[in-house]
Amino acid sequence: MTKLIIQIPCLNEAGSLPATILALPRKIEGIDKIELLVIDDGSTDGTSEVARLWGADHVVRHRRNRGLAAAFRSGIEAALTAGADIIVNTDADGQYAGEDIALLVAPVVAGTADIVVGDRGVAANAHFSPLKRMLQRLGSSVVQRLAGTDVPDAVSGFRAMSREAAQRINITTEFSYTTDMLIQAGRKRLAIESVAIRTNPVDRPSRLFKSVPRFIVNTVITMARAYTTHNPLRVFVGAGLLTAGLGVVPIVRFMWFWLTDQGNGHVQSLTLGAALLVLGALFTILGILADLIGANRKLMEANLFRMRELELRLGAAAPTESGRDLHGAEPPVRLANGRRR
């Protein structure tokens, strides 16, 4: 039996959540059972109660707001624990058309994709402002290069993943999971596809970021961190070669003056060049060390994957990040049918 769990991260979405839930499909070809999971990320407007009232099969509640990435992580862990074979992530604001979930899961059901990302057609989407269209296209092109994938809408939150993909992806960012997830998936050679989807207009401002400049900065940091984590040798050795190359320039300058008997007074060039060469060598050494650490991380991720499989097979409740997140935040409170587990 193939079970699909649709997860919806929420922050104060009591007003829009009912319409979003009603728009979700109840039957999809190739899917035997569909369940709904709502992640209440510290809402203060009764989002959890509204979710249960409107038929959510599972509710995960954070006692305080921990951010979209943490909500996504909690949802994935809860969905896997509930026996999901396929997980779909959608937004509570109604931006995505619920009927298009069938399009998202089709490649996963067919076995041709591990992850499917909904393409909102950013370049021509009438619901986006010109600035947003430009930023989305620029960000997606950068992620395509970093991840080595062909995903035209890399920051779309409307995506489906197989159970194995969900177990292999380990989100570490605190801002947004979208770019981190794709860079990881590309590095781990998971099969990624993109399908065209429809979108609805959303009038309220985003709750993920307070301003466009802040969103840009956080996204750039997230992409740089994710890429460096999974490609340390390329990043550090590249920085080392660039630094060493810059160091060669003042050294060549000093040698020119020295060969023409004008070396006096140009020792600063030699000092600067030597310092840059040493710095370049240090960058290279750091790259080698980071690559060795990365190899160890791969072994740990492989062990984590096996542990998750074993936990699910035994029917044990898999803890989310050992019951606490990386900063010691309180574990999520899980509720179902109005009762705590």
Residue ranges per structural domain of the chain: 3-223, 232-300
Question: Does position 281 have pLDDT exceeding 90, yes or no?
Answer: yes
Question: What's the average model confidence in pLDDT over 105-109?
Answer: 95
pLDDT band at 205 (very low <50, low <70, confident <90, very high): low
Q: Phi first, then psi: what are they for 301, rounded to 5°?
A: -65, -35
Residue 302 vs residue 90, higher pLDDT: 90
d(CA 56, CA 44): 18
Nearest residue to 124 (alpha-carbon basis) of 60, 198, 65:
198
d(CA 331, CA 74): 9
Question: What's the average model confidence in pLDDT over 288-299?
Answer: 81
Question: Does position 309 have pLDDT exceeding 60, yes or no?
Answer: yes
Question: Does position 323 have pLDDT exceeding 50, yes or no?
Answer: no
Rg (the chain; Cα; Å) = 24
| DSSP-based three-state secondary structure for 228 | helix
The percent of residues above 70 in pLDDT, for the chain, comes to 84
Question: Does position 54 have pLDDT exceeding 50, yes or no?
Answer: yes
Give the residue carrying structure tokens 């240090």: 282
The CATH number of 3-223 is 3.90.550.10
Q: How far is CA 58 from CA 36, 37, 189, 334, in A?
A: 6, 5, 31, 8
Q: What pLDDT is recorded for position 295?
A: 78
Report strand pairing: 192-196 vs 339-340. Answer: unpaired
Nearest residue to 48 (alpha-carbon basis) of 10, 80, 76:
10
Question: What's the average model confidence in pLDDT over 236-247?
Answer: 92
The token pair that represents 131 in the structure block: 């600035």
Tens digit of each residue's pLDDT (9 = 90 or more) over 122-156: 766 666 667 667 777 777 778 878 878 888 888 88
Q: Which of 3-12, 55-64, 72-81, 115-124 has the lowest mean pLDDT?
A: 115-124
Question: What is the overall mean pLDDT for the chain?
Answer: 82
Question: Does position 98 have pLDDT exceeding 60, yes or no?
Answer: yes
